[in-house]
């Protein structure tokens, strides 16, 4: 297949491009600045819709892979913008070029409150009284709604990424910030498993799919284990109430599609 990947130089893209090349695909990689080894790199910005249309039209891809985030500076407003405007610009370029399939990076912690891990039929948390939370989920919903305009589409609802070059490393953000310690539940995902799921999604049926490991974990369990693994001081236990939406997610749908996490639990790292 011909695949156009936006986000080829990010933590997932850097692992995904070699997988796609190894499968024999022809890869065109968008970046604002960097050459992508093995792929045809095209320089452009997702906020330049005219150039983006030209680039996608020239590449004539079968699949547009949307792995864009804007998290290097941890500016969550910028990340919301790329979900809304970046996805819009990508989809307009894809539709104009007759792209058959669009695969987008989403998240698995946008579900409404509940006490058990969410599956893909759980509604998104669009009515949260917390404005910051609501704004985040609205941007995620917009990204997925736009993605669903493609004839074939997959929204990869990734868990919290960990592994090399993520925030969960010895010198990463989480090792150098205060850790949570209460009952909030997180579903994690190893960075290698994220890349493999994206490559597998080239043939999946349309819809959202949770891509998370097998073991949603309370912060009271994962945070001490993570602190020990990176040599950080153990977090002080806290008697805080659970954030109602911090419930984790299930991976049954992805498993039914044949995907398995090679790293089934964050606790093994």
Which residues would be at the binding site for ligand NAP (CB under 6 A)? 6-11, 13, 30-34, 45-47, 68-72, 82, 107, 158, 160-161, 165-167
Smallest distance from ligand NAP to CB 172, Å: 7
Q: Residue 6 or residue 97: which is nearer to ligand NAP going by CB? A: 6
Structural contact between residues 84 and 142, judged by C-beta atoms closer than 8 angstroms: yes
Nearest to ligand NAP by Cβ — which residue?
Answer: 10
Helix, strand, or coil here: 54? helix
Is residue 223 helix, strand or coil? Answer: helix
Comparing CB distances to ligand NAP, the nearer of 70 and 213 is 70
Q: Under a CB-based contact definition with an 8 Å cutoff, are residues 259 and 142 in contact?
A: no
Are the beta carbons of 30 and 42 closer than 8 angstroms? yes
**C-alpha to C-alpha distance for 20 and 22, rounded to whole angstroms:** 5
Q: Shortest distance, CB of residue 27 to ligand NAP, whole angstroms? A: 13
- The owner of tokens 């906020």 is 47
Compute the distance between CA of residue 239 and CA of residue 242 in angstroms, rounded to an integer. 9
107 versus 197: smaller Cβ distance to ligand NAP: 107
Q: Which is nearer to ligand NAP, 69 or 128 (CB)?
A: 69
Nearer to ligand NAP, 5 or 99 (CB): 5
The rounded distance, in Å, linking the Cα atoms of 105 and 65 is 8
Q: Which two tokens stand for residue 153?
A: 């589409």
Euclidean distance between CA atoms 225 and 266, whole angstroms: 9
Residue whose CB is less far from ligand NAP, 30 or 93? 30
C-alpha closest to that of 67 among 54, 86, 42: 86
Nearer to ligand NAP, 151 or 211 (CB): 211
In 11-68, alpha helices (H): 13-22, 49-59
Q: How far is the CB of 163 from ligand NAP (least distance, A)?
A: 9
Find the distance separating the first CA and the last CA of the chain, reported in whole Å: 35
Q: Is 210 helix (H, G, I), strand (E, B) or coil?
A: strand
Supply the minimum distance, in Å, between the C-beta of residue 89 and ligand NAP: 9
Q: Whole-number minimum distance, CB 28 to ligand NAP, in Å?
A: 13
Strand segments, DSSP code E, in 12-121 are 26-31, 40-43, 63-66, 101-107
Rounded least distance, CB 233 to ligand NAP, Å: 22
Least CB distance to ligand NAP at residue 250 (A): 16
Closer residue to ligand NAP in complex, CB, 11/65:
11
- In whole angstroms, how close is the CB of 239 to ligand NAP at the nearest point? 27
């Amino acid at each position: 297949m011909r695949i156009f990947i936006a986000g080829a130089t990010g933590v997932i893209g850097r692992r995904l491009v070699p997988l796609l090349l190894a499968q024999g695909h022809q890869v065109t990689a968008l970046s604002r600045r960097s050459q992508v080894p093995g792929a045809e790199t095209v320089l452009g910005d997702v906020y330049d819709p005219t150039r983006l249309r030209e680039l996608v039209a020239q590449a004539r891809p079968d699949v547009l892979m949307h792995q864009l985030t804007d998290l290097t500076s941890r500016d969550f407003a910028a990340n919301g913008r790329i979900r809304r405007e970046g996805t819009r610009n990508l989809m307009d370029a894809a539709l104009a070029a007759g792209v058959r399939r669009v695969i987008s990076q989403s998240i698995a912690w946008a579900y409404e409150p509940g006490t058990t891990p969410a599956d893909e039929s759980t509604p998104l948390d669009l009515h949260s009284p917390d404005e910051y939370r609501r704004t985040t989920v609205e941007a995620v919903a917009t990204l997925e709604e736009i993605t669903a305009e493609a004839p074939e589409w997959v929204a990869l609802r990734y868990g919290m990424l960990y592994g090399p070059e993520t925030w969960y490393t010895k010198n990463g953000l989480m090792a150098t910030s205060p850790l949570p310690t209460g009952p909030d539940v997180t579903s994690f995902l190893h960075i290698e498993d994220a890349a493999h799921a994206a490559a597998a999604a080239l043939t999946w049926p349309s819809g959202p799919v949770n891509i998370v490991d097998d073991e949603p974990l309370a912060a009271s369990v994962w945070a001490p284990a993570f602190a020990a693994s990176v040599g950080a001081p153990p977090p002080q236990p806290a008697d805080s109430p659970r954030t109602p939406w911090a419930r984790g997610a299930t991976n049954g749908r992805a498993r039914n599609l044949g995907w398995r996490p090679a790293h089934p639990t964050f606790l093994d790292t």
